Amino acid sequence: MYGAAHKRHMKLISWNVNGLRAVMKKNFFEFLNEYDPDILCLQETKMQEGQAEVLTPGYHQFWCSAERKGYSGTLVLSKTEPLWVDYGIGVERHDKEGRVITAEYPDFYLVCVYVPNSQDELARLDYRMDWEDEFRKYVKGLEKTGPAGREGKPVVICGDMNVAHKEIDLKNPSSNHRHAGFTDEERGKLTDLLGSGFVDTFRYFHPDEKDRYSWWSYRFNARSRNAGWRIDYFLVSESLTERLKDASILDHIMGSDHCPVSIDLE
């Protein structure tokens, strides 16, 4: 399926579900059946494995839950069993919140990530800055040398990065300038990550497209007014761009305050 010939497209989807148990009562299984991704990466599952029955026939499940119940958490569903799976970034102070799952496939590493929110009054901005540096070091290590005993490969990063990169990526940039998710510091860290050799896939295909967002506040009818932020991403190693066929924001999919984002890889 992922061999050298790349005979078919792979569809990868990422979605911050803001509580998997809640979205399972809404449209999660219909969404999974309709879109039928090869790999689905979820963030903010807010549950431990086994807290509810999550029946996904045809998919291998890989869970990374926070130590604190009902908080954070990631999950990867993959039709093909990965060669290797790991959890966290190997830095103890950052690996208690269930934020990162890495799955190795024959020709890339997939990293599902839920980046920490800087929170109100930027209470967690310093923590976030440290996290960003360690995360960048981690994904570049995967690319260059691979984990111990593995090999270096291109990397696909997906998930809720909790930052709108440029002014085009949110409805009201001026009034949000020093708010969590649109500080110069957070935007700078994403610039650093992209500058280290990654490509923002949505902007690769849609460099100037406005009013395309992946998250909307539950307040002020933000979604119906499309007053949103683009904070969910697929980033890929530059060497994978020739295999990119499409990058989409599935903003018609309801069920969470985020919508899914996707890429097609040849």
Task: Please give the positions annotated as active site.
Answer: 114, 160
Q: Are strands 39-43 and 244-249 parallel, antiparallel or unpaired?
A: unpaired
> What burial class does residue 25 get, using C-beta atoms within 10 Å of its C-beta: 0-12 exposed, 13-18 middle, 19+ buried?
exposed
Tokens of 201: 């896939």
d(CA 204, CA 201) in angstroms, rounded, equals 5
Residue 242 to residues 40, 204, 205, Cα–Cα distance (Å)? 22, 11, 12
Pairing between β-strand 74-78 and β-strand 60-64 as defined by DSSP bridges: antiparallel
Please choose, from the candidates 218, 254, 212, 217, the residue with its C-alpha nearest in 3D space to the C-alpha of residue 230. Answer: 212
DSSP per position, 223-253: TTTT-EE--EEEEEEGGGGGGEEEEEE-TT-
Scanning the chain, the segments in alpha helix (DSSP H) are: 20-24, 28-35, 125-144, 184-195, 201-205
SS3 of the chain: helix, strand, coil, percent, to 5: 25, 25, 50
For residue 58, give the nearest of 80, 73, 42, 76 by alpha carbon.
80
